[in-house]
Amino acid sequence: MLSSRILALAALLAAAPAWPAPAPTVEEARRFMDQAEARLLKLNVDSSRADWVRSTYITGDTEILAAQADEQLIQATVELVHQAQRFAGLKLPPELARKFALLRNSLTLAAPTDPAQSAELTRIAAKMEGDYGAAKYCPTPGRCLDVDQLSDILATSRDPAALLDAWQGWHNLARPMRTPFARYVELANLGARQLGFADTGAMWRSKYDMPPDAFAAELDRLWTQVRPLYVALHTYVRRRLREKYGAALVPAHGPIPADLLGNMWAQDWTNIYPLVAPPAEHATYDLTQILRARNTKPLDMVRDGEHFFTSLGFAPLPPTFWTRSLFVKPADRDVVCHASAWDIDTQDDLRLKLCIEINAENFTTIHHELGHNFYQRAYSRQPLLFRDSANDGFHEAIGDTIALSVTPAYLHRIGLLDTVPPTSAGIGLLLRRALDKVAFLPFGLMIDKWRWEVFSGRIPPEKYNETWWAMRLQYQGVAPPEGRTESNFDPGAKYHVAANVPYTRYFLAAILQFQFHRALSRIAGCTDPLYQCSIYGNHEAGRRLNAMLSLGASRPWPDALYELTGQREMDSTAILDYFAPLKKWLDEQNRGEPSGW
């Protein structure tokens, strides 16, 4: 009798209309976010530790452990993003609302909700990065070269056959990545769509406090401002390379072969400076030779970088930085030598991972990476979701901003130059820097433009390589040194493609660093030409810089930009101001020379 009554009651309840769920409250949203940040903090630390070991001890086991930790973090973030939808439409206090927005946009890789697909995606991502780090080209039995050794050939050799062999050797190693990359795109897009994004590219573009399409248009605006400067540099360099290698290799009008520009990806042309240097009256110093002549050690270069920041009033790096970082490539194991700065516990466990070589490029790279570390510590007191840069371009720009202050006058002050070069050396200094900064701009832009098209489906797998080189021609004016087909996968020869690292941040940084430098130079009272200004030792510049860094991601990036520069819009005119003397000189050198490609 009792059971029949219970069944009857259950039937009535089932037939009755469901009561609506109570509307969420602001206090519930706050509790949810507090719990989410606590959970994500632990998983972030676990993932960082596993990724550090995977990057510094590449084995099958460390790849699996890192993939598992990354999968747990990604799955938790995806789960929290879905749960946070309950609070959509609820009017929240501005700070709390920003946390919910940042949570939704926090992923660069959104795993699908299906556990098997999620595990597959994180395994593919970990393996692609691990394969990149362990890849070696073996031109002869018993002689195998990694990407750094092959890059040295591109940087120093002037033998076209050796350059071509090193370029081919590395790029051909990426062929096996094509199939897993296509699957990674498929799974990553599935995860992004489950979070409400059109695809992974749209998810990446949503991180910039503006609609994705508006952000893409902003990039085009910035590129349009600086393109004439790049074209002038390209025209000059092409002529000088033609003088060196002949018209058979370098045409009078057309793209430059990618293996002749001194860098594996033709993104930084600094290494060909001796081939394109201006006349002797404009000659400048060679920092690489100076460092080596002084028997500089890797840690000496890191100490120099730290000293610049402490001269601005920043506290020294913690003791654990010096004991836990990787500064020199180990002889007994494979590591990912690509330079990176780490904030393991989002507090004070700061680390640098870099296989340091004694040269000017690494001297600058160290300043760049330490910029990440000092930024990380500046915002470490913020809530977890605000422990990041205002946008990812800010993070990349800070260290490079400091490096722009590594002027001859600064090098003289720290004892690396006996005398300051005469004013006539300015063109040489600017040309060398343009081969780095200006040459990089179109490459920094096209990497993600290509990936956005891949994620959207407008570039199908059967056209990966064709469109890669079409876009490199469009933006960079470079071409492969030999015919490439769809049996190749040349995008995978770039670390950031293999490692799922968005690249637009580097283009933004290339613009922002000059905007930051111009503002800091004015704060420091510098009245010299912008390229001669250094903020070394100026505490007021350091105070204003730290005020911006300390904001982290707590406010939209235009607010952070305004804090330092008084502007709310990214602006390419600072890079034009910086290189104005060089542009005038390039135009004189290019008179009568065909421009463009």
Q: How far apart are CA 465 and CA 459, in angstroms?
A: 10
Interval 65-88: pLDDT, tens: 998 998 899 889 989 998 998 998
Asked if the model's pLDDT at residue 96 lies above 90, the reply is yes
Q: Give me the residue label for tokens 């406090």.
A: 209
Decide the pairing of beta strands 478-479 and 256-257. Answer: parallel
Decide the pairing of beta strands 256-257 and 143-145. Answer: unpaired
Residue range 450-466: mean pLDDT, rounded: 98
Least confident of 217-221, 268-272, 275-279: 275-279
Asked if the model's pLDDT at residue 422 lies above 90, the reply is no
Q: Do 172 and 135 form a contact (C-beta atoms < 8 A)?
A: no
Count of C-beta atoms within a 10 Å radius of residue 244: 15
Q: What is the pLDDT of residue 19?
A: 56
At 6, is the pLDDT very low, low, confident or very high (cuts 50, 70, 90)? Answer: very low
Choose between 446 and 5: higher pLDDT. Answer: 446
Across-strand partners of 257? 479
Least confident of 1-10, 243-252, 494-503: 1-10
**Angle (CA) 93 96 98, round 5°:** 105
Q: What is the pLDDT of residue 11?
A: 46
At 8, is the pLDDT very low, low, confident or very high (cuts 50, 70, 90)? Answer: very low
b/e code 193-227 from CB counts within 10 Å (16+ = b): bbbebebbbbbbbbbbbbebeebbeebeebbebbe
Tokens encoding 305: 């970088």
Tokens encoding 441: 């701009």
Helices 426-456 and 580-589 cross at an angle (nearest 10°) of 90
Contacts of 404 (CB under 8 A, 6+ apart): 513, 514, 517, 578
Interval 27-50: pLDDT, tens: 999 999 999 999 999 999 999 999
Asked if the model's pLDDT at residue 494 lies above 80, the reply is yes
Interval 130-175: pLDDT, tens: 899 899 999 999 999 999 999 999 999 999 999 999 999 999 999 9
Tokens encoding 56: 């510094």
Q: How far apart are CA 110 and CA 112, in angstroms?
A: 7
Q: How far apart are CA 179 and CA 562, in angstroms?
A: 45
**Angle (CA) 543 546 547, round 5°:** 85
Q: How far apart are CA 419 and CA 416, in angstroms?
A: 9
Domain spans of the chain, in order of start: 26-130, 136-173
Contacts of 229 (CB under 8 A, 6+ apart): 434, 438, 575, 576, 579, 583
Residue range 388-400: mean pLDDT, rounded: 92
Asked if the model's pLDDT at residue 236 lies above 90, the reply is yes
Tokens encoding 402: 């400091």
Q: Give me the residue label for tokens 């701009």.
A: 441
Report the share of the chain in percent with pLDDT over 70.
Answer: 95
- DSSP 8-class letter at 206: T
At 419, is the pLDDT very low, low, confident or very high (cuts 50, 70, 90)? Answer: confident
- Count helices and strands (H / E) in the chain: 25, 6
Across-strand partners of 406? none
Residue range 519-524: mean pLDDT, rounded: 97
Identify the CA nearest to 155 among candidates 519, 537, 436: 436
Q: What is the pLDDT of residue 282?
A: 60
For residue 276, which phi and psi values (nearest 5 degrees)? -120, 10
Least confident of 16-30, 41-55, 460-474, 545-559: 16-30
Residue range 318-343: mean pLDDT, rounded: 93
Q: What is the pLDDT of residue 281?
A: 57
Catalytic residues: 338-339, 368-369, 372, 396, 496, 506
Interval 347-375: pLDDT, tens: 889 999 999 999 988 998 999 899 999 99
Tokens encoding 387: 């422990």
Q: How far apart are CA 500 and CA 109, in angstroms?
A: 8
